[in-house]
Amino acid sequence: MMFDDLCILFSRLPVNASPADYANEVVNNNILGKPTKKARELALRHLIALYGLDAQSPLFRAMRRLWEVDEAAQPVLALTVALARDPLLRNTQSFILNRQPGSPVTREDLEKLLVADYQDRFSSASLKSFAQNVNGTWTAAGFLSGRVRKTRSVPIITPANVALCLFLGHLEGFSGQRLFTSPWIELLTRPLDELEGLASSASHRGLLVFMNAGGVKEVRFPDFLTPEEEEIRQEVSSVI
């Protein structure tokens, strides 16, 4: 997930930084402390693949907007965007979430999952490496704990995390009550009443607009999308 690198970048660059600004900091200024230019360029490519690093992307804009709100939310914010952009990582979500807190999660378990879903895609070396990276990603986000022996743990979830997951559902055409049943909100592994409470807290903080009366829910995201982006979202939603 390259969470530490992302934290360094965001601490140095403003919310409206351009892709060129990120590239300059990583490659030319070596803000991440990589040993060679090739390593710096590789780090930049990985970060772009995971997060976009482009304010023209609604999802990246939303993450940066919420990043500044609550430091405790940052690991799961990063994971959420990485899941949205990386289908291989997203394929491990159900496997991790279905494990009960305290139950072991081994690299070999993940290797079996990957082999079953992507036969002949990985060499033995790349399979081990990817499984280790996946373990590290879920650990950085708080869903796994332990340095050597990983066990399922319960991550910190804040109003900012609920806001981002609701926004992702909104982008996919969910609305009202259905927003609280999207695959993105399921990532947060919290009961509905707690999610509604966190959404209400997010609304009070101005992160979104949430109204819940008589069992009817309305969620809006003022200024998250440009008029052009909202038009595209509505067109896609009508197809979905």
Sign of CA dihedral 107, 108, 109, 113: positive
Q: Are the C-beta atoms of residues 26 and 47 closer than 8 Å to each other? A: yes
Q: Which tens digits make up the pLDDT trace of 115-167?
A: 888 877 888 888 999 999 999 999 999 999 998 899 999 999 999 999 999 99
Better-scored residue on pLDDT, 236 or 92: 92
Q: What is the pTM of this model?
A: 0.95
* Interval 179-204 mean pLDDT: 97
User: Would strands 150-152 and 104-105 be described as parallel, antiparallel, or unpaired?
Assistant: antiparallel
> Which residues are bridge partners to 216 per DSSP?
213
Q: For residue 210, what is the enclosing H or E element?
A: strand 209-213
Which residue in 28, 32, 35 sits closest to 3, CA to CA?
32
CATH for 159-239, among 1.10.490, 2.60.40, 1.25.40, 1.10.10? Answer: 1.10.10
Give the count of alpha carbons within 13 A of 168, CB side only.
25
Q: How far is CA 193 from CA 25, 36, 72, 82, 96, in A?
A: 43, 50, 21, 27, 23
CB-based contacts of 45, cutoff 8 Å, min separation 6? none
Instruction: Supply the angle between the helices 74-85 and 3-12 in degrees, to the nearest 10.
Output: 110
pLDDT at residue 238 in the model? 60
Q: Are the C-beta atoms of residues 185 and 195 closer than 8 Å to each other? A: yes
Four-point Cα dihedral 184, 185, 188, 191, nearest 10: -150
Q: Which tens digits make up the pLDDT trace of 25-74?
A: 999 999 999 999 999 999 999 999 999 999 999 999 999 999 999 999 99
